[in-house]
């Protein structure tokens, strides 16, 4: 498959699209304390403007990834950006809760952009540029969030709050135009039929899980509704798993997902997502609490954004470092290193929380670890899955991180609600509560490192991986690589080459690694007769 002649432009456009999606998630943060007043709703109801985005992102990310593998990743990327623009316009026109929730849900459907962008890079970029590009794309979520917060806070303080969403819509239009002009459509397609039942089952299971996690504190963790939702999650996802194992063309190939490298990477991603989000829950509260409490710093939302912005800049710097580290030592080592750096950052946070510069240091160290670890996860996933399933596999990995952050929010909320201090007319989380959440984040980072330690080690130089498997011109065919320079005996050829030549199919469809493609299944059945 020919690679694009303008890889730098493609990388820049896709990374910009990822940053735009991150800005969408950040834009509402300065408004959270004012949402009940702005939307004429109760505080409990106003939180649906946040929950709707979370649910929509979780439900649509794996679906969009699978559709991208089937019908074109660029096409689904453009559709996602169009939904982001539409949702931003709806929010920009809203003054009530219902349209705001609808608009935020539409914005949430664009969360699959980063996974699609990484998959496009795998299809279009030459191998020597892929590691650095995917590391930058993965880090774009954190970069956009960290850099977008001060900008969103400044706009919220100086202008009408609707401007935040109009700016988001404008950025979405620019990103879509750049994708249309520069990013090519990949020729790698999986084909087949879309698994409607699997998509509905996964959506129902995730909705039950995330509703229980995000609303459990409001409803009560022991309430019949919360317990019922958790029970329904187990039942629905169990039935969904059984269906996916029996489906000929599943939404999520659970057999591929159960491979050691994919499974452990996804588990580490979920735990790492849990660890990463603890910083976002603690540092803004410490900064914004009144100085009269004795441990708050009395900063405005703009001040909070400026304190957290350096972490985004650090991620930009560490993304290429992550690629170089993975190239030399393998992505497993990079993931473990990133987790250890994040753990060190949280360890600093337990002790250093009384001055603004200390929180800048803590957030920057944690940001460095996130930049390292996020860059390694796509490399681990893509080296273990067929090229025709890249978008679906990356989307599932993104989903696992989202589940981790949701659980982190619930756990931190419980801790901070239990450990409080009375200050006359108001109650605030205690310093012990903040330190406990930071310690939990440190422990979660160490757990992610321990999980990553069980990942397979780096492959020997003579062995190929599924990163290039099934592509024309590659030495590996049928999933069994041969050392460079070793040729087959005269008159013999690999099984995939024989199938390709006999049925006049491109090598991709004859590759053992492309066995999930329907035509490949049919060819194998015919060739064995």
Paired sense of beta strands 426-429 and 420-423, if any: antiparallel
pTM: 0.76
pLDDT at 447 over 90: yes
Looking at the chain, the whole-number percentage of residues with pLDDT higher than 90 is 21
In sign, the C-alpha dihedral spanning 252, 116, 136, 344 is negative
Segment 347-360 shows an average pLDDT of 88
pLDDT at 1 over 60: no
Q: What angle do CA 192, 193, 195 make, to 5 degrees?
A: 130
In sign, the C-alpha dihedral spanning 327, 329, 333, 338 is negative
DSSP states of 279-332? HHHHHHHHHHS-GGGSS-----HHHHHHHHHHHHHHHHHHHHHHHHHHHHH-HH
More confident residue, 491 or 416: 416
Structure confidence at residue 191 as a pLDDT band (50, 70, 90) = low
Q: What angle do CA 12, 16, 19 make, to 5 degrees?
A: 140
For residue 319, the model assigns a pLDDT of: 81
What is the number of helices (H) and of strands (E) in the chain? 21, 2
pLDDT at 463 over 70: no
pLDDT tens string 102-120: 999 999 889 888 888 888 8
pLDDT at 23 over 50: yes
Rg (CA), the chain: 23
* Per-chain mean pLDDT for the chain: 79
For residue 449, the model assigns a pLDDT of: 93
pLDDT at 522 over 70: no
DSSP states of 139-195? HHHHHHHHHHHHHHHHHHHHS-THHHHHHHHHHHHHHHHHHHHHPPPPS----S---
317 CB neighbour count, 10 Å cutoff: 12
pLDDT tens string 251-261: 888 888 888 88
Stretch among 90-94, 173-177, 319-323 having the lowest mean pLDDT: 319-323
Q: For residues 135, 139, 140 and 142, what is the CA-based torsion angle, rounded to 10 degrees?
A: 180
Burial (Cβ within 10 Å: 0-12, 13-18, ≥19) of residue 361: middle
Return the residue matching tokens 């996933």.
381
For residue 424, the model assigns a pLDDT of: 73
Closest Cα partner for 495 from 464, 455, 527? Answer: 527
pLDDT at 89 over 90: yes
Closest Cα partner for 272 from 443, 470, 66? Answer: 443
Q: Is 127 within 8 Å of 319 (Cβ atoms)?
A: no
CA–CA distance, 403 with 452 (Å, rounded to integer): 18
Structure confidence at residue 5 as a pLDDT band (50, 70, 90) = low
Q: Strand, coil or helix: what is 427? A: strand
Segment 176-181 shows an average pLDDT of 93
CA–CA distance, 183 with 15 (Å, rounded to integer): 12
For residue 180, the model assigns a pLDDT of: 92
Question: Across the strands, what pairs with 421?
Answer: 428
Q: Is 103 within 8 Å of 91 (Cβ atoms)?
A: yes
């Amino acid at each position: 498959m020919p690679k694009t002649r303008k890889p730098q432009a493609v990388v820049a456009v896709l990374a910009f699209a990822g940053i735009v999606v991150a800005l969408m998630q950040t834009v509402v943060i300065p408004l959270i304390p004012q949402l009940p007043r702005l939307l004429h709703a109760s505080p409990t109801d106003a939180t649906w403007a946040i929950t709707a985005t979370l649910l929509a992102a979780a439900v649509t990310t794996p679906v969009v990834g699978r559709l991208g593998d089937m019908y074109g990743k660029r096409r689904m990327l453009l559709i996602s950006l169009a939904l982001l623009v539409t949702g931003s316009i709806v929010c920009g026109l809203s003054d009530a809760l219902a349209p705001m929730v609808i608009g935020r849900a539409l914005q949430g459907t664009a969360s699959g952009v980063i996974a699609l962008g990484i998959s496009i890079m795998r299809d279009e970029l030459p191998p020597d540029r892929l590691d650095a590009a995917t590391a930058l794309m993965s880090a774009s979520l954190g970069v956009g969030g960290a850099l977008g917060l001060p900008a969103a806070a400044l706009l919220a303080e100086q202008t009408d709050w609707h401007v935040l969403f109009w700016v988001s819509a404008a950025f979405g239009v620019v990103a879509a135009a750049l994708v249309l002009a520069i990013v090519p459509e990949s020729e790698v397609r999986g084909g087949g039929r879309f698994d409607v039942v699997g998509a509905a089952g996964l959506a129902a299971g995730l909705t039950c899980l995330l509703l229980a996690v995000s609303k459990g504190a409001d409803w009560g963790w022991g309430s019949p509704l919360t317990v019922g939702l958790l029970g329904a999650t187990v039942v629905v996802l169990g039935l969904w798993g059984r269906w996916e194992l029996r489906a000929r063309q599943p939404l999520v190939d659970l057999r591929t997902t159960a491979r050691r490298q994919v499974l452990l990477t996804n588990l580490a991603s979920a735990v790492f997502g849990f660890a990463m989000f603890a910083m976002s829950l603690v540092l803004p509260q410490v900064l914004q609490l009144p100085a009269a409490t004795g441990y708050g710093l009395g900063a405005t939302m703009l001040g909070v954004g400026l304190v957290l912005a350096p972490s985004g800049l650090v991620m930009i710097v560490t993304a290429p470092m992550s690629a170089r580290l993975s190239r030399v030592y393998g992505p497993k080592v990079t993931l473990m290193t990133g987790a250890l750096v994040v753990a060190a950052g949280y360890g600093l946070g337990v002790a250093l929380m009384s001055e603004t510069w200390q929180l800048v240091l803590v957030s920057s160290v944690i940001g460095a670890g996130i930049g390292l670890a996020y860059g390694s996860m796509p490399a681990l996933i893509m080296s273990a899955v067929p090229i025709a399933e890249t978008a679906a596999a990356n989307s599932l990995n993104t989903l696992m991180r989202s589940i981790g952050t949701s659980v982190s929010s619930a756990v931190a909320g419980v801790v901070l609600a239990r450990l409080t201090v009375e200050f006359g007319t108001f109650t605030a989380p205690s310093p012990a509560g903040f330190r406990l959440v930071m310690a939990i984040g440190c422990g979660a980072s160490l757990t992610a490192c321990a999980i990553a330690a069980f990942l397979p080690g780096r492959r020997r130089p003579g062995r190929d991986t599924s990163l290039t498997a099934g592509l024309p011109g590659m030495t590996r065919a049928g999933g069994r690589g041969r050392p460079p320079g070793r040729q087959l005996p005269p008159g013999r050829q690999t099984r995939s080459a024989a199938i390709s030549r006999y049925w006049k199919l491109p090598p991709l469809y004859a590759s053992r690694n492309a066995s999930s493609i329907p035509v490949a299944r049919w060819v194998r059945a015919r060739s064995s007769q």
